[in-house]
Structure 1
Amino acid sequence: MLEALPEKGVPGEQILAELRELRAADLPTHGGRLFAYVYDPALDGLDELARQAHAISAHVNGLDPTAFPSLLAMENALVGAAARLLGGDEETRGSVTSGGTESLILAVKAARDSRPELATPRLVIPSTAHAAFAKAAHYLRVALDVVPVGDDLRADPAATRAAITADTVLVAASAPSYAHGVVDPIPELAAIAAERGVRFHVDACFGGWVLPYLRRLGADLPAFDFGVPGVTSISVDLHKYAYAPKGVSLLLHRDEALRRPQYFAYAGWPGYTMINPVISSTRSGGPIAAAVATLRHIGDAGYLELAQQTRAAVATLAEAVRQTDGVRLFAPPETTVVCLSTSRHARDGFEAGDDSTSRAAGDGFEAGVDLFVLADELAARGWHTQPQMAYGEMPATIHLTVTAAVAATVGEFALDLADAVAAARAKGPADLPAPLLEAAAALTPEMVTPELIAGLADGLGLGGGDFTRMAAVNSLLNVAPPPLREALLTGFLSLLQRPAPPTE
């Protein structure tokens, strides 16, 4: 057990050895085998450069840029680079945040506070928009209007137009959506918002740093940046495809007037006047310095090459899915995501402009492959993917975030995918005891208690902290209604996030 406050201090080398031992239990952040959470360019020396840059500014406080002008210079440099990449000009303004969620919360705040006369400001998003928008709406007391997407998984302009009311302060869309990696029709949506006098935000947190390079490489992607009339703000994460360490994101506004409501200022107390452009007050300069070092080291030409490697890896992965009976592409692999479904979790009639993605369930899938068992089989072979639960008429899917590092391992994955599918087919669906399913069917969110969660964790084999076989857990969550799923996962995370009892 790790003791954070020992009676006597511990030598530094022992502490570092203990931390390395803890890290050994984590999923691999490098090597092209983790398809979520981390972004690896596989560039020698980049990690060490970023660590050294982080150390230079780790103890600098971003609370007051007049005290630490180095951070002001670095933040302005990052914003300027992103503005140029994303079609901005000398009027573009921006802020450095801790991540995409903070950027989206601030985009919603700026829109809400620009209309202080509204009692119930509203936010319109497609159902595929990132969950951070729902978090922003919840935190900021903004009503959330979720619009269904079309069969192509993209935001529906007509439905979006119908959802806008006099109380709408912001319309948002994705470039691309995280779950499926497709780009919403930004020009049409931005025009609709502008026509109604409403701000329009492009959530490019996930792909905003790579889409411009993919377009330069010839990818047929719609315009999405400040070159599109009506786009008023854009978010882009530098710790994704800019390959900077966590956590650095940017929120850009077309001009200063649009950014102004983002700020919080308060002078009604006897201390210093608080003025914050972002949610945090005190902020370490370490991540900002590491991001500057990363961008300067890779450079524009380097990012173009990384995008080319990523694009090639996506194409190879997609072809592997097409050639493997039992799985199929659920969405067109047009950006940096490969999203696949299986015979047991496919929906009929999806069209992606490719015959291999439009096969109906049952056409060549007689034996059936359980998607969650497949995810476990891939993990057993060293490939860590991200299962996504069913939503509405959308089936459960497996999400693969593809980075430049995957270019070196994609051939191995293609072989292991076929092997994992065969193993999953042989095993059949995840085994969920009938009594457990019956009990779960009777549950409501209000019935979820710490005792119930502890019992479920033990019954599903999670009591000992082994998360390597998750098919049964995911299958149970997949059939639970979203409110119950939220309650179950909240309870489970709360179960994990507790200190161990002291030893005698």
Structure 2
Amino acid sequence: MNEVLAQLRELRAGDLPTHGGRTLAYVYDSGLSEVDEIAAAAHALASSANGLDPTAFPSLLRMENDLVATAAGLLGGDAETVGTVTSGGTESCLLAVLAARDARPGLAAPGLVLAETAHAAFHKAAHLFGVRKVVVPVDPVTFRADPAAMAAAIDESTVLVVASAPSYAHGVVDPIPEIAAAAAARGVRMHVDGCIGAWVLPYLARLGADVPPFDFRVPGVTSISVDLHKYAYCAKGVSVLLHANAGLRRTHYFASADWPGYTMLNPTLQSTRSGGPLAAAWAVVRHLGDEGYLRLAEVTREAVARIRAGIEGINGLRVLGDPDSTLIAFTAAAPGFDLFTVADEMKVRGWYVQPQFAHGSSPLNLHLTVTAANHGSEAEFLADLTASVLAAKSAGPVTVDPDVAAFVAALDPETLTTEQFGDLLAAAGLTGGDGLPDRMAPINALLATAAEPLRERLLLEFLGALYTPGPH
């Protein structure tokens, strides 16, 4: 056993750090060691229990109802508010779309109206469930959804309108009251994607932040998604999808008695669900409690303010929009250096910041997800960011070989073959089976030259190559 665990520790040594606030995406660190300890212990106690049948494992039913009640209370719910615990934000978003679609089964081409800054999970939902997307541009300066444009996009086939609190890319809260009113006026459901912000925004408001209204207190809001494995600091993966009443939720439930086995009843996309993540989340939420989350929000808010002010003081950088929560996106204020190089330089210094490609009015930028664990290390982060920008300026812009760029431009995403993809890897220098290079700026710069459909296809091919077992 010790040998196997030693091998696992060796494998994990190559991962990004999940604690200490140095990975500013993907992970959420409270900075409190006992939170990990209680989550691990609770997970172990319930990992073998199966959420497939709540009558067989009533402890899981109790814990799920407790978590839903806590989330509903935090987000302005009332006695009619119900919810479902899911595996993560994407599943919550998928179920919100599924419930809306199946509530109107007579529509030949159900539509989904969403701001262009809505999470990609909604594009996935449209793809999986055959729902027509209507993507509405946002304000090019604030990056907030345009209520008038959202209202104009609603038609007789619209089953759901989606806005964010906040959007992942820029950390801004959309004007939910105006959008929800437009949806309600047409009798259409309104979903607020609060996956990344809905657990922390209420606490920021209590601390005096000017948080725009976004939850069930807003008339017309019919569902909200909130991830507990984000700012509730629970172990992955646990999210909650809340609906204003049980009738709205019912259409994402599934039942099948048309076979000789047990009658399948599923509130989520999954059937078997380990009790481990649920129990871990239940234990962490009870352990931290209201005051614990208020304190974590307070130190996170301080970290965000210091980091944002520091970025605004670095020559050559500017913050995009006016972030409302714990997310910051910043871009180059002038040409002459490459943000992909800045990201590489930060990685050399022990930080992970997330590049975001240009899209619509949003330029190439770097994204930061700030958590409580960043409190106290803001000065070190900003010093390393300043040094990284200076190094990027010294290196100059990343250039793409014209022949390689021409090769990419000639590729058709609809007909791209594995052989062509292999040729591209070779042209980009990704050969020899050694994985990705230490510096990703040249690769990201090459991807940035590709139109979005081609970039998607290239990355799908790359994903397939990654998930191909090699020799053991």
Q: TM-score by structure 2 length?
A: 0.98
Deviation at 1:429, TM superposition (A): 1.5
Deviates most, 326-335 or 162-171: 326-335
Contact in 1 for aligned 2:172/2:322 (Cα 8 Å): yes
Deviation of 1:466 (Å):
3.1
Work out whether 1:139 is the aligned partner of 2:107. Answer: no
Structure 2 equivalent of residue 487 of structure 1? 457
Give the Cα–Cα distance (whole angstroms) in 2 for the partners of residues 281 and 371 of structure 1.
43
Change (3 A) 1:323 1:160: same
| Residue 380 (structure 1) aligned with residue 384 (structure 2) | no
Deviation at 1:412, TM superposition (A): 0.1
Q: Distance in 1 between matches of 2:321 and 2:389?
A: 19
Q: Is the 8 A contact 1:309 1:404 kept in 2?
A: yes
1:259 aligns with 2:229: no
The answer to whether the Cα contact below 8 Å between 2:404 and 2:428 also exists between their aligned partners in 1 is no
Distance 1:75 1:337 in 2: 28
CA contact (8 A) 2:194 2:224 kept: yes
In the TM superposition, 1:222-237 aligns within 5 A as 222-237=212-227
Residue of structure 1 in register with 2:41 after alignment: 52
1:26 is aligned to 15
**Preserved contact between residue 33 and residue 409 of structure 1 (Cα < 8 Å):** no
> Partners in 1 of 2:320 and 2:369 — Cα distance?
14
Secondary structure in 2 matching 1:445: coil
Which whole-Å CA distance do the structure 1 matches of 2:249 and 2:374 have between them?
37
Q: Partner letter of residue 193 of structure 1?
A: A
Taking structure 1 as the reference length, the TM-score comes to: 0.91
1:465 aligns with 2:455: no
Counterpart check, 1:218 vs 2:208? yes
Is the 2:224–2:241 Cα contact (8 Å) retained in structure 1?
yes
Structure 1 residue 409: deviation in Å? 1.4
1:284-433 matched pairs, under 5 angstroms: 284-343=274-333, 365=334, 368-433=336-401
Tell me the residue number matched to 1:359: none
Match of 2:266 in 1: 276
Q: CA deviation at 1:128?
A: 0.2
Match of 1:205 in 2: 195
| Kept after mapping to 1: 8 A contact 2:228/2:281 | yes
Measured in 1, the distance between the counterparts of 2:300 and 2:410 equals 46
In the TM superposition, residue 447 of structure 1 has moved relative to its aligned partner by 4.1
228, 231, 234: which one aligns with 1:241: 231
Q: Secondary structure at the match of 1:446?
A: coil
Q: Give the Cα separation in 2 of the matches to 1:37 and 1:472.
A: 23
Deviates more, 1:463-472 or 1:390-399: 463-472
| Cα offsets for 1:219-240 (capped at 9, x unmatched) | 1121111111100000000000
Residue 348 (structure 1) aligns with: none
Task: Find the partner of 2:58 among 69, 77, 82.
Answer: 69
Q: In the TM superposition, what is the alpha-carbon distance from 1:277 to its structure 2 partner? A: 0.5
How far 1:450 sits from its partner (Å)?
A: 2.0
Q: In the aligned structure 2, how far is the partner of 1:329 from the partner of 1:157?
A: 23
Deviation at residue 467 of structure 1 after TM alignment: 4.3
Q: CA RMSD in A?
A: 1.1
Cα shift at 1:322? 1.1
Partner of 1:146, secondary structure, is strand
Seen in structure 2, the aligned counterparts of structure 1 residues 241 and 467 have a Cα distance that, compared at 3 Å, is farther
Q: Deviations over 1:23-78 (max 9, x none)?
A: 00000000111010000000022111111100000000000000000000000000
Count of equivalent residues: 469
Which amino acid is the alignment partner of residue 421 of structure 1?
V
Which shifted more, 472-481 or 238-247? 472-481
- Runs of 5+ unmatched residues, structure 2: none
Please list every run of 5 or more consecutive structure 1 residues that lacks an aligned counterpart in the other structure. 1-11, 344-364
1:440 aligns with 2:429: no
- Could you tell me the percent identity over the aligned residues? 59
| Alignment partners' CA distance in 1, 2:26 and 2:114 | 24
CA distances 1:270-320 after superposition (whole Å, capped 9, x unpaired)? 111111100000000000000011111111111111111111111111111
SS of 1:123's partner is strand
2:162 and 2:191 in contact (8 A); partners too:
yes
Alpha-carbon distance in structure 2 between the residues aligned to 1:419 and 1:484: 34
1:295 and 1:461 map into 2 onto residues whose CA distance is: 47
Kept after mapping to 2: 8 A contact 1:318/1:333:
no
The aligned counterpart of 1:87 is 76
For residues 446 and 306 of structure 2, the distance between their equivalents in structure 1, rounded to whole angstroms, comes to: 32
CA contact (8 A) 2:225 2:239 kept: yes
Match of 1:358 in 2: none
Q: Secondary structure at the match of 1:45?
A: helix
**What residue in structure 2 maps to residue 454 of structure 1?**
422
Cα distance in 2 for partners of 1:459, 1:43 equals 46
